[in-house]
Amino acid sequence: MMHATRRSFLKLGAAAGFASAVPFGLRAEEVPRYAPTASGWRRFELSTTLTPPAGQGATKVWLPLPDLGTDWQRTIDTRWTGNATSAAIVTDPATGTRLFAAGFDAGEAAPSLTLISTVETRNRTIDWSARTPATEDPAVLSAALAPSGLKPLDGVVRDTARQITGGATTDVDKVRALYDWIVANCHREPTVAGCGTGDIAAVLTAAGHGGKCADLNGLFVGLARASGVPARDIYGVRVAPSAFGYKQLGGNPEKLSGAQHCRAEVWLEDHGWVAMDPADVLKVMRQERPDWIRDRADPLIAPVDAALFGNWEGNWVGFNTANDLTLPGDDAGRPLPFLMYPQGVNAAGRLDELAADAFAYAITAREA
């Protein structure tokens, strides 16, 4: 089996009509052009090490697994080391999502566990001019049209979807209108904790429609479902820098505890599942440069805006597509809106998934 070598940053010369407005701090010849194309497989060893607090009674932990099995991602191996007294891959019966669960005795002085998954990924691309009819399990499509706890499909979500897609005649037209509306009317809000809560009605009713990826791509998914187009979030983590030089579209493989990212996809009869990521367009607009770029035609934004409607880069590993997931063995039985971060509970209560240093956990990746 052949594997793609580590990508280096690409700095491409400005194309025709592309150099009229040069981004802040860059010469014209350094303007990056984000354009994922069909690629070979890349292999990553993704490691999550947990050292939860000791002296707080018995501890249970749950970790998301890269368990998608698609034509753009495949898991080769999963293993673990540590002093947990129990450890197993378990399944949430309601969603079918598999995850890793472990437990530590109350007397363990230094609880520790490392979960290692070997995963292969590749760029995801689409040829919009090619008609390639696809089939899918009707139960999967039905789930991708259903509401969830934080994705209601009535009220303001239904009304907004109708306003946006009122003139659309095909599912592609609907998706295009929704993607454009998100990018034009929402914004990345850096002060939101983690990846956001995913409460799409709250995003729609808030001034400026701000949020992070779970909010913004979640809103895109909810609006698509309310428009009759099957759609779903995919929760995962960035594992390597972007090959195109965009710092906001990649992760530092030595420290990925803050690199979680939610993406989206829609089902289109002539194309199957299609990649979508309007939230990353908004992230680049807000945070790639010191100034907030509000113009989609800006030469730093335009290629990202165009590419993420149907394509994405294979420097990201997806975990699952579940909403309203219950952690098997969690005595509280409290459903999670999504599973993207390690989870834990002890006698003192729920461990804070967003406080990696206090939890404590570290996520790293190594490209083979």
Decide which of 287, 313, 339 is a domain's last residue.
313
Q: State mean pLDDT over 114-133.
A: 96
Contacts of 140 (CB under 8 A, 6+ apart): none
In a domain, 14, yes or no: no
Count CA atoms closer than 13 A to 45's CA, side-chain side. 8
Q: What percent of the chain lies above the pLDDT cut of 90? A: 87
pLDDT greater at residue 1 or residue 331: 331
Q: pLDDT grade, residue 30 (50/70/90)?
A: low
- Evaluate if residue 302 carries a pLDDT over 60: yes
Q: State mean pLDDT over 80-98.
A: 96
Q: State mean pLDDT over 209-237.
A: 98
The overall average pLDDT reported for the chain is 91
- 285 three-class SS: helix
Structural tokens at position 236: 């995962």
Q: Which phi and psi (to 5°) does residue 267 adopt?
A: -100, 120
Q: Which residues pair with 345 in a beta bridge?
A: 60, 350
Give residue 12's pLDDT: 28
Listed in sequence order, the DSSP H helices in 115-154 are 138-143
Q: State mean pLDDT over 217-239.
A: 98
Give residue 334's pLDDT: 81
| Integer Cα distance of 132 and 95 in angstroms | 28
Domain count of the fold of the chain: 2
Q: Which of 235, 250, 276 is nearest to 99 (CA)?
A: 235
Give residue 277's pLDDT: 98
The CATH number assigned to the domain holding 228 equals 3.10.620.30
Assess whether 184 and 306 both reside in one domain. yes
In a domain, 348, yes or no: yes
DSSP letter at 104 equals E
Q: Which phi and psi (to 5°) does residue 95 adopt?
A: -110, -15
- Evaluate if residue 323 carries a pLDDT over 70: yes
Assess whether 147 and 106 both reside in one domain. no
Residue 91 structural domain:
42-121+326-367
Assess whether 75 and 205 both reside in one domain. no
Give residue 333's pLDDT: 75
- Condensed to tens digits (0 to 9), the pLDDT of residues 166-215 reads 989 999 999 999 999 999 999 999 999 999 999 999 999 999 999 999 99
Assess whether 301 and 162 both reside in one domain. yes
CA distances from 237 to 83, 169, 317 (A): 26, 35, 5
In a domain, 333, yes or no: yes
Locate the DSSP E strands across the chain.
42-50, 59-64, 73-82, 86-91, 98-104, 113-121, 187-188, 210-211, 231-238, 260-268, 272-276, 309-310, 316-320, 343-346, 349-350, 361-367
Amino acid at residue number 180: D
Q: Write a three-state SS string for 305-355.
A: HHHCEECECCCEEEEECCCCECCCCCCCCCCECCCCCCEEEECCEECCCCC
In a domain, 278, yes or no: yes
Give residue 4's pLDDT: 34
- Evaluate if residue 9 carries a pLDDT over 50: no
CA distances from 208 to 26, 151, 187 (A): 30, 19, 7
Q: pLDDT grade, residue 25 (50/70/90)?
A: very low
Q: State mean pLDDT over 73-91.
A: 97
In a domain, 116, yes or no: yes
Q: State mean pLDDT over 142-171.
A: 97
| Integer Cα distance of 181 and 167 in angstroms | 13
Q: pLDDT grade, residue 15 (50/70/90)?
A: very low
Assess whether 250 and 219 both reside in one domain. yes
Assess whether 221 and 188 both reside in one domain. yes
| Integer Cα distance of 271 and 225 in angstroms | 17
Long-range contacts of 24-33 (CB under 8 A, 24+ apart): 24/289, 24/290, 24/291, 25/289, 31/299, 31/300, 32/244, 32/245, 32/246, 32/300, 32/303, 33/244, 33/303
The CATH number assigned to the domain holding 107 equals 2.60.40
- Condensed to tens digits (0 to 9), the pLDDT of residues 43-57 reads 999 999 999 999 999
- Evaluate if residue 360 carries a pLDDT over 50: yes
Assess whether 157 and 256 both reside in one domain. yes
In a domain, 68, yes or no: yes
Q: Which of 244, 250, 307, 321 is nearest to 277 (CA)?
A: 307
Amino acid at residue number 50: L
- 202 three-class SS: helix
Count CA atoms closer than 13 A to 17's CA, side-chain side. 3
Contact 61, 113 (CB under 8 A): yes
In a domain, 84, yes or no: yes
Q: Whole-prediction pTM value?
A: 0.90
Decide which of 291, 313, 335 is a domain's last residue.
313
Q: What percent of the chain lies above the pLDDT cut of 70? A: 91
Q: State mean pLDDT over 22-45.
A: 75
Give residue 13's pLDDT: 30
